Structure 1
Amino acid sequence: MSYAEYAKHYFTMPDCILFLLLAMLLLAVVYGIFFVFANKTFEGELKIQHEFFSLSERFYELIFSGGSIIGFMAAYYLINRFVTSGSFYEFWSDYKDYLLLVFMIISILLNTFLDHVFVKLKRLDKSEMASIRLTGMIYMIVIFCYIKFIYEDNNYDMFITYFLTLMIGRFVYFDASFKDFIECMKQAIKNIPIMLIGLTFLGILCLRGYSSDYLLKHNGVITNIFFCHLYIIVAIFIMHFAVDIYFNYRSKRHAEESQPERKPKRKPRPAQRPHKPDIQNLEDF
């Protein structure tokens, strides 16, 4: 399959739209889970909304970080597959190991673009962002374990080695302490339910894609996983506007209902005219 046929297959209508609609439907289910949890855990409209958006943004960051890493791996795989001759092929063959490091840096920049520009995350502080990105690394390790031991594909061993090195470097630096590492791990463990939701989301998309032959098995599992992340990211971009509109409407309605009812003001009585003495009675007097 050539590159043109490859691209045409994944962007053929209506399969492309149907796959996106499935991603949006699953994302709506995720929103429902987050809302039910926030509604049962907290009282008060502001606290419920804060928890809902906090959970949603942690889910976004999990997908953004995972999608960015999978993206550069998919790009590396596609170049290896389709670039087989020419001057660029010679350059790629000589420097592809170094270019892989460049791709990793690009993935970090892409992650920053996604969570600062594409969908701006406003409710996560630095510690929460760091913990969910660590959870994203665990999320990627689970995916790599699936590729290595269940899918039984050894073509990505180099990627796994690079990624594990990146993960170790995330914590092992000159001023790091074991206490900091433990604290960050505790925060990351709290995000495990969100990670499981993300893996389930991804698994359903992959299952649907493989069963309908939309995702081609012979085209590389890493590429298919990247396409699933791409659809989830597009669904997030579309759906987060709808969520904002819904909660803005909900806040206005809650504010109107919480206002005390004002008693209607009594109309002022008309002023009485001063009583004029009866002139005839005065004359009789």
Structure 2
Amino acid sequence: MYTTSYYLEHYFHMPDFIIFLALAMVLMGIVFFVFYLYAKGTNKTDKKLEHEFYYLSERFYELIFSGGSIIGFMAAYYLINRFVTEGAFKTFWDDYKDYLLLVFMVISILVNSFLDHVVLRVKHLDEDAMASIRLTGMLYMIIIFAYIKFIYEDDNYDMFIAYFLTLMIGRFVYFDASFKDFLHCIKRAIANIPIMIMALTFLGIMCLYGYSTEYLLKHNGVITNIFFTHLFIIVAMFITHFVAYKIVQGKTCVKTKRTNRIEREDNRQRHSRRESHDRVERQERPRRQDEIEVMDL
């Protein structure tokens, strides 16, 4: 039986811990770079470019937060169900685990809200955007479970799917929502598919590296390892978020300053030409006046 100290020693062993985190940060940097290129290619003004970059980044954040919070409570449920095999807590767990799963669901929602309101504040997404990205998050989770069931060939997580679908549907469908609202949400969710593909690729590269180096322990269960990888992604997002935003703000600020400097130079040149013209005009005015007087004589 593996102990807590064993897992702590394994996962925080250097340099494996730093390498895994560095990989997450590099991949997050690539994500930011792709978002910047897209925003730059689709927006002509600096203000719109900056807003689009923030909008894309926060949609990615919310997708990871949504998926990670759900995977977190599933991982906790799975680990308790697997490793707690005896004692009073086992009896309590067997009697009330379905109710405790509901508690875990509520906790996951609170964790999601904490992540997108405190850890990395999502400021550029309206309610429709939040609903659509969480719907995309449901598809994100379905793909992960499809991988676990059909490719990884593990049936241990079938019991979670019904709970998961119920929770995720409840997070974007309201009691007064109409079918038209649902279709509108679906339409907006389709626009998030490229971001979902990026997130799945990100997750896949991290897991591939983790399993190939045995940093991710197979006996922990695939859902636990996926949750653990999400934690690294969230930490990488938090670290690189401020750097990426500063760089984008700096680029747009430099470009704006350059544009303003060019405009000031143009204004100065126009003003100089106007003054030169006025000076010539003042010099020519007496001469023309003399000519008029001579003609009158």
Q: Structure 1 length as normaliser, TM-score?
A: 0.88
Q: Structure 1 residue 44 and structure 2 residue 45: aligned?
A: yes
Q: Is the 8 A contact 2:217 2:225 kept in 1?
A: yes
| Distance (whole Å) between structure 1 residues aligned to residue 250 and residue 259 of structure 2 | 14
In the alignment, structure 1 segments of 5+ residues that lack a partner are 267-285
1:13 Cα offset (Å): 1.6
1:39 Cα offset (Å): 1.0
* 1:135 matched residue in structure 2: 136
Q: Considering only aligned residues, what root-mean-square deviation do their CA atoms show, in Å?
A: 1.8
* 2:197 matched residue in structure 1: 196
Task: Calculate percent identity across the aligned residue pairs.
Answer: 65
* 2:103 matched residue in structure 1: 102
* 1:282 matched residue in structure 2: none
1:213 Cα offset (Å): 0.6
- Cα deviation 1:82-115 (Å, max 9, x = unaligned): 3233322221121111101110110000000000
| Distance (whole Å) between structure 2 residues aligned to residue 158 and residue 211 of structure 1 | 28
| Distance (whole Å) between structure 2 residues aligned to residue 66 and residue 94 of structure 1 | 28
Q: Is the 8 A contact 1:3 1:82 kept in 2?
A: no
- Cα deviation 1:178-197 (Å, max 9, x = unaligned): 11111110000000000000
| Distance (whole Å) between structure 2 residues aligned to residue 165 and residue 84 of structure 1 | 28
- Report the AA paired with residue 3 of structure 1: T
| Distance (whole Å) between structure 2 residues aligned to residue 173 and residue 119 of structure 1 | 25
- Cα deviation 1:185-224 (Å, max 9, x = unaligned): 0000000000000000000001001111111122200001
Q: Structure 1 residue 178 and structure 2 residue 162: aligned?
A: no
- Report the AA paired with residue 234 of structure 1: V
Q: Is the 8 A contact 2:46 2:256 kept in 1?
A: no
Q: Is the 8 A contact 1:65 1:136 kept in 2?
A: yes
* 2:34 matched residue in structure 1: 33
| Distance (whole Å) between structure 2 residues aligned to residue 115 and residue 109 of structure 1 | 10
- Cα deviation 1:2-53 (Å, max 9, x = unaligned): 1322332222221111000000000011111111111111111111111111
1:130-279 superposed matches below 5 A: 130-170=131-171, 174-259=175-260, 260-261=264-265, 263=268
- Cα deviation 1:102-154 (Å, max 9, x = unaligned): 10110000000000000001111111111111111110011011111111111
* 1:2 matched residue in structure 2: 2
Q: Structure 2 length as normaliser, TM-score?
A: 0.85
| Distance (whole Å) between structure 2 residues aligned to residue 64 and residue 150 of structure 1 | 25
| Distance (whole Å) between structure 1 residues aligned to residue 208 and residue 24 of structure 2 | 12
Question: Structure 1 pair 42/223, CA: closer, same or farther in 2 (3 Å)?
Answer: same
Q: Is the 8 A contact 1:2 1:82 kept in 2?
A: no
Q: Is the 8 A contact 1:26 1:201 kept in 2?
A: yes
* 1:272 matched residue in structure 2: none
| Distance (whole Å) between structure 1 residues aligned to residue 64 and residue 113 of structure 2 | 12
In the alignment, structure 2 segments of 5+ residues that lack a partner are 273-297
- Report the AA paired with residue 197 of structure 1: M
| Distance (whole Å) between structure 2 residues aligned to residue 203 and residue 57 of structure 1 | 21
Q: Is the 8 A contact 1:119 1:237 kept in 2?
A: yes
| Distance (whole Å) between structure 2 residues aligned to residue 172 and residue 58 of structure 1 | 19
Q: Is the 8 A contact 2:32 2:57 kept in 1?
A: yes
| Distance (whole Å) between structure 2 residues aligned to residue 173 and residue 233 of structure 1 | 28
| Distance (whole Å) between structure 1 residues aligned to residue 174 and residue 250 of structure 2 | 47
Aligned residue pairs, count:
266
| Distance (whole Å) between structure 2 residues aligned to residue 72 and residue 86 of structure 1 | 22
| Distance (whole Å) between structure 1 residues aligned to residue 257 and residue 42 of structure 2 | 24
Q: Structure 1 residue 71 and structure 2 residue 72: aligned?
A: yes
- Deviating above 6 A after TM superposition, structure 1's stretches of 4 or more consecutive aligned residues are none
Q: Is the 8 A contact 1:67 1:226 kept in 2?
A: yes
1:170 Cα offset (Å): 4.4
Three-state SS of the structure 2 residue aligned to 1:152 is coil
| Distance (whole Å) between structure 1 residues aligned to residue 175 and residue 218 of structure 2 | 43
